[in-house]
Chains A and B, each alone.
Chain A
Amino acid sequence: MGIPVFLLIVFPSLFFAGIILRTKSICSGRKGPSISQPLRDIWRLFQKSAVYSETASFVFQIAPAVYFATLLLAIALIPLGGRSGLISFKGDFVFFAALLSLGKFFNIIAALDTGSSLEGMGASREALYSMLAEPAFLITMASLALMTGHYSFHGIFGALRYGSSLSLAAGALAVFVLIIICLIENSRLPIDDPATHLELTMVHEVMILDNSGFDLGLISLAGSLKFAMYGALISNIIIPHGLAWFYIIPVFLALQISLAMLVGMIESFMARFRLNHNPQYIFTLTSISLLIFLGALIISGKIN
């Protein structure tokens, strides 16, 4: 039941990085690499062996695998078009957030494990940004749960209707919040710059400096998977209820591709924010999600 959904989300994710790269190149006036180029890079990395430092412990060796595994498990939770994901139970969106935190936790301690101060700096920044973005995600999801009265992803997205303009506004704001969270979690502009490797500008890239070979391939693949995961969540909110499955697939793919292109365009046209102002901008998301929560309170009639 959930396997087609799972495959539908995972498959296009492989091309996400390629689309983003291609969009950036075209916006800069170049032709750019082909869309499957990042896939070939990952395949090349999979064929190499990893080099492990002598000062690192087993944590460093298992971290990328744990990260990738949690990500796959998280994707298994996401429904699409009225069909549930591989796993679905009540309160699974909290489980979802916890899985992502587990993966990120392993990433962070692996970065600390290498003993490099540069990676420690990146790890601390990453921890701060995730901590600030977490309430935004949970409040948004909780508001959607409040609006629809169900507690699982499948239930929430199955029952989401946009009747009044207030619910429409809440839905639009939720999409906006999720897009920005997607940018934050993947360490894209305008929070972080994945292209430069300077101390001043790195958050995520610096954490994976010491990874190589198979591990690096896993981490790059995980990056694309994360994009697809958030894209699937966003599509769930956008796609109207009751479409037949042969309409949902093209709409879903179109949404994923346009999300990737949007990310590419944001990366091309915006500069990165000053690093010590990032906490404010990330906390703004929490404020906006608070607005969604208040809107949900009004809609669900708990407070009139």
Chain B
Amino acid sequence: MTIILLIAFIISLIHLSVSKRLKTYVSVLAFQGILLFGAAFIELIRINLVNLLFILLETIVIKSIAIPYFLNYLIRRNKITRESEPYLPDFISLVIVTAIIFGSFLLSGTMYTSINRLFFMAAFSGLFTGLYFIISRKKIITHVMGFLVMENGVFALTLAAGAQMPMLVNAGILLDIFASVLLLGIFVNKIGGILKEQEAGQLRNLKD
């Protein structure tokens, strides 16, 4: 069953690479949160109840509800335009993301482990796709969204490794919460106040 959830995760990455509107990004992030909730529920059913409740709550509440709501609020409040503006055309993005998925398949093939290979595929695809989104999009808010995709990939990896180490899973989740709250809450707000257009090209003054 986790296999189906992870495959849906990878397909959502493909969908993310062709979507044009920021709202689609937000809804895909919420969908990935739900998928990871399901995967967490199945994988971590053996650890103690309080920990499990904490992790499940975090995935559903933070990943699927709070962060998308907050992103939508920021988009509305800073009047960010609807389109996500990529540097590369969408077709090439799609080809690159497909190549990333294939590459993560090959990479996960070199790992000698008893853990299901699909976890590594989903994690690496999420990680590198998130990095790709950070690089190839102009708007600042899409940088943050790319980081959130990376976080989802890291969470998939945590599920693979952390069934026996709940403290590590907790640490990863705390990272997720803190970084997302800080990045989203304080700075995009401030950037929206000071910068008029939400382009990363505005942040070019610091160089030699």
Q: Do chains A and B touch in the complex (CB under 8 A)?
A: yes
Chain A residues with CB under 8 Å of chain B are: 164-166, 168-169, 172-173, 277, 279-281, 283-284, 286-288, 290-291, 294-295, 298, 303
Given A283-B95, A284-B94: A290 and B4 interface contact (C-beta under 8 Å)? no
B4 touches A168 (CB 8 A): yes
Q: How many residues of B contact A (CB 8 A)?
A: 23
Q: How far is the CA of A288 from the CA of B8 in the complex (A)?
A: 10
B91 touches A279 (CB 8 A): yes
Interface of A is mostly: helix
Could you write out 24 A-B pairs with CB less than 8 Å apart? Answer: A165-B4, A166-B118, A168-B4, A169-B3, A169-B7, A277-B18, A280-B90, A283-B91, A283-B94, A284-B15, A286-B98, A287-B14, A287-B94, A287-B98, A287-B101, A288-B11, A288-B14, A290-B98, A290-B101, A291-B10, A291-B11, A294-B102, A294-B105, A294-B121
Q: 7 other contacts beyond A279-B91, A281-B18, A284-B18, with CB at 8 A cut-off?
A: A165-B1, A277-B20, A283-B91, A283-B94, A291-B7, A291-B11, A295-B7
B14 touches A280 (CB 8 A): no
B3 touches A280 (CB 8 A): no
8 Å CB interface, B56-90 against A: 90
Q: How far is the CA of A173 from the CA of B165 in the complex (A)?
A: 34
Min CB distance, A152 to chain B, in Å?
28
Q: How far is the CA of A120 from the CA of B205 in the complex (A)?
A: 50
Interface string of B79-120 (1 = CB under 8 A from A): 000000000001100110110011001000100000001100
List of B residues within 8 angstroms of A290 by Cβ: 98, 101-102
A169 touches B4 (CB 8 A): yes
Interface string of B1-28 (1 = CB under 8 A from A): 1011001001100110010100000000
List of A residues within 8 angstroms of B105 by Cβ: 294
List of B residues within 8 angstroms of A286 by Cβ: 98
Q: How far is the CA of A299 from the CA of B15 in the complex (A)?
A: 25
Cβ 8 A contact of A287, one of B1, B20, B97, B109: B97
